[in-house]
Amino acid sequence: MSVTEAPTRPTYGPADDAAAPAESTGATPPLRRTVRRAAFWICAGIVLVLIAIVTMSLQGAGVGGAPLSPMNAAPAGSKAVFEVLADQGVEAHFAESLDEATDAAGDYEQTTLLIYDAGLYLTDFKLREAARLAEHVVIVDPGFDQLRELAPAVSLAGIADDELDADCDLAEAEKAGAISGASTGYRVTDDDADAAECFGSGDGVYSLIQLTESASTTSTRPAQRVTVLGAWSVLANDTIARDGNAALALNLLGEHETLVWYIPGLDDLEGTGQGAAAAATPPWLTPAIALLMVAGIAAAVWRGRRLGPLVIENLPVTVRASETMLGRARLYERSGSRLRALDALRVGTIQRLAKACGLSRHATIDEIIVAAAALSGRPPTDVRALLLDREPQTDPELVQLSDDLLTLEREVHRATKPMA
C-alpha cells in the first residue's frame, strides 16, 4: 500500500528568479495606455493655467485702472493728489458706496464731498442723500441726470478748450491762474443763480462753475456750495503737474478738514447688495450647479477620445489673404469709395486705441477720443476730426489720413509703454 503525498506549493529559489519578473510584466501595458490617455488632459490643463497666468500678467501691466480713483497710480488715476492732500493734514477718505461715504463724512460744515459717477450707478434719491453729507459738493464731469438733481441751473455745453485761464473771482481758481488738459464745458442757464464761472472757452462755456445756495427759511436744508468741475484732467496723475492743475485741485478739495472721495460702485445699484442676492438665490441652485459641473467633467473624460491623424483635403481654390485685401482695395478704388475705405481703417484704429488706452470694448467713441488725446498730447478736437469727421476728397488725402492714423497709434503706444 503506497502513501500518496499531498502536492506542495512551488517555491522560487535563486535559480528561478529570472522567471519571476515575467508575471509582473502583464500590468505594464495597461498602465502605459492609461498614462497616454491622460496625457492630453494633463497638457490641456497646463496650457489653460499658462494662458490664465499670461492674461493676468498682461492685464496687470496695462495702463488702465479705475479713472480718477485715489487708489490708482496709473496715468488715469488720482493717487497723487489724494496722497498730497492727506500729507497736508486733510482727513481724506475713499468711498465706493453711499454707506461708506456716510460713515466717512465728518462735521457738515467741515466736509468736502467729491462725486465722480462715470458709471451712472446713483439714482436721484441717492444723489440727494449723498449731497446732504457735506457743505461743499464737487461733482466731477457730471452728466445730464446729475446736473438735473444737484445743479439744475447748469447744463452741458460740449468739449472745452485744452488751455484755460481762470478769469474769475473764485479764490481757488485765481490761485491756479491757468490749467490745461482735456475738459468738458458747461453753461449756466438760470440768470438768477448765484454762480461763479471760471475757465471759460468762449460763448458762455466754462469748465468750472460753483453754485452757492443760502439756507432756506422754509426747510431744514443748510447753506451749501455745489462745484461743477468739468476740468477733470486736473485730478489725473499724468496731468496734475501741468500749469496750475495741482493748485486748483489742492485748493478746491483741501479747504475743509475732511474730504470724502466718492466713486460709486456696484454696491450702489438697486437690489444688488449681498443680502438681496442671497435672498433671491434658491437653496438648491448652488448644489445643482456643482453637480452639473462634475457631470460635465465626467462626461468629457468618458467620451473623450484620442483623435486620429489629420486628413488633408485639397481645396479647389486657395486664395491668399493678401490677395483678398488687394482685391477689396481695387474695388474701393474703382468705385471711388474713399470714405468707405477710410472707415475700414478707422474701425481697426479705434479698436486698437481702446485696447492701448486700457478701455473696455464697450467704451464709447467719445471716451476713446478723450483718452487718446490725453495720452498723445493732441487736442481732442483734432483726434475727433481724424477718427470721425474728416472726409478724403482725393486719393492723396486718403493716403495722408491713413498715415495720420498710424502716427496717432504710434504716439498712444509710445505714451503707454513703461519707461526703461
DSSP for 198-229, written as a single string:
EEEEETTEEEEEEEEEPPPSSSS---EEEEEE
Average pLDDT by consecutive 10-residue portion of the chain (420 residues)?
42 42 44 66 78 64 74 92 94 94 92 93 91 94 92 92 91 93 93 92 91 62 86 93 93 94 87 51 78 85 69 71 74 79 87 88 89 89 89 87 90 77
Residue written as grid cell 491668399: 320
Do residues 255 and 344 share a domain? no
**Selection from 50, 88, 87, 94 nearest residue 69 by Cα:** 94
Do residues 331 and 397 share a domain? yes
Do residues 245 and 383 share a domain? no
pTM assigned to the model: 0.52
- With respect to residue 402, please indicate whether it lies within any of the assigned structural domains: yes
Strands 224-229 and 195-202: unpaired
Do residues 199 and 339 share a domain? no
Residue 420 is predicted with a pLDDT of 46
Residue 96 phi/psi, 5-degree rounding, is -115, 10
Do residues 223 and 329 share a domain? no
- With respect to residue 45, please indicate whether it lies within any of the assigned structural domains: no
How many structural domains is the chain composed of? Answer: 2
- With respect to residue 16, please indicate whether it lies within any of the assigned structural domains: no
Whole-number Å distance between alpha carbons of 387 and 349: 8
C-alpha cell at 238: 499724468
Does residue 84 contact residue 250 with C-beta atoms inside 8 Å? Answer: yes
Whole-number Å distance between alpha carbons of 260 and 386: 39
Do residues 327 and 264 share a domain? no
Residue 26 is predicted with a pLDDT of 41
Whole-number Å distance between alpha carbons of 94 and 45: 40
Do residues 260 and 372 share a domain? no
Give me the domain span that covers residue 389.
321-416
Residue 391 phi/psi, 5-degree rounding, is -125, 125
Residue 218 is predicted with a pLDDT of 40
Do residues 263 and 327 share a domain? no
Per DSSP, 379 falls in state: -
- With respect to residue 288, please indicate whether it lies within any of the assigned structural domains: no
For the residues of 97-141, what is the DSSP string, one character each? SHHHHHHH---GGGEEEEE--TT----HHHHHHHHTT-SEEEEES
**CA separation, residue 84 to residues 105, 254, 266 (Å):** 19, 10, 28
Do residues 337 and 224 share a domain? no
- With respect to residue 292, please indicate whether it lies within any of the assigned structural domains: no
**Selection from 403, 137, 360 nearest residue 252 by Cα:** 137
Do residues 84 and 203 share a domain? yes
Residue 4 is predicted with a pLDDT of 42
Give the domain-ending residue among 202, 233, 268: 268
Do residues 106 and 240 share a domain? yes
- With respect to residue 100, please indicate whether it lies within any of the assigned structural domains: yes
Give the domain-ending residue among 201, 236, 268: 268
- With respect to residue 215, please indicate whether it lies within any of the assigned structural domains: yes
Do residues 238 and 329 share a domain? no
Residue written as grid cell 496650457: 47
Residue 31 is predicted with a pLDDT of 59
Residue 232 is predicted with a pLDDT of 93
Render the burial of 71-91: b for 16+ CB within 10 Å, e for the rest. Answer: ebebbbbbbbbbebbeeeebe
- With respect to residue 24, please indicate whether it lies within any of the assigned structural domains: no
Cα end-to-end distance, the chain, whole Å: 104
Residue 53 is predicted with a pLDDT of 77
Give the domain-ending residue among 250, 268, 286: 268
For the residues of 388-414, what is the DSSP string, one character each? II----SHHHHHHHHHHHHHHHHHHHH
